[in-house]
Amino acid sequence: MNDTHDTPSDDTLTQAHLATLVDRFYEKVRVEPELGPVFNAAIDDWPEHKRMLTEFWSSVALGTRSYRGNPMSAHRPHPIRAEHFDRWLALWRETAREVLPAEHVERVCGYADRIGYSLRYGLGLMDKTGTRPLGLPTV
């Protein structure tokens, strides 16, 4: 009996891929000079945080609907600056290229770009166009 239809091929994006991505990404974040202090002060249980974020990314990229949190309220109390998002996205993209099947990198990074935009906007770190932080005069 041929069970190839029941087994994902090597290039199918899976929850295991996302778990590896989340694990390696946050290991980089923990030691990154700008991001590490923010994240390390906020996260008490890294294994649980990674599990929750794997559920988040599975919900986003695979449609599993397993994540039940509120990213905006989770980020609001922390000292996050607009430039943190640039570094976060660069590390995410780097790690995605290292661990994901090539054909899924841009899609997963596109999700991260949109999530980053939403968080920056929702946290009051930029205006709707994404071109300047809120509260700064235009020139």
**For residue range 53-83, what is the model confidence (pLDDT) as tens digits?**
999 999 999 999 999 889 898 899 999 998 9
Q: Rounded distance, CA 26 to CA 46, Å?
A: 9
CA angle 20, 14, 31 (to 5 degrees): 15
Half-sphere exposure of 94 (CA within 13 A, CB side): 12
Half-sphere exposure of 86 (CA within 13 A, CB side): 7
Length of the chain in terms of residues written: 139
DSSP 136: P
pLDDT band at 129 (very low <50, low <70, confident <90, very high): low
Q: What is the pLDDT of residue 11?
A: 75
Q: Which CATH number fits domain 15-122: 3.90.1330.10, 1.10.490.10, 3.40.50.850, 1.20.210.10?
A: 1.10.490.10
State if pTM tops 0.85.
no
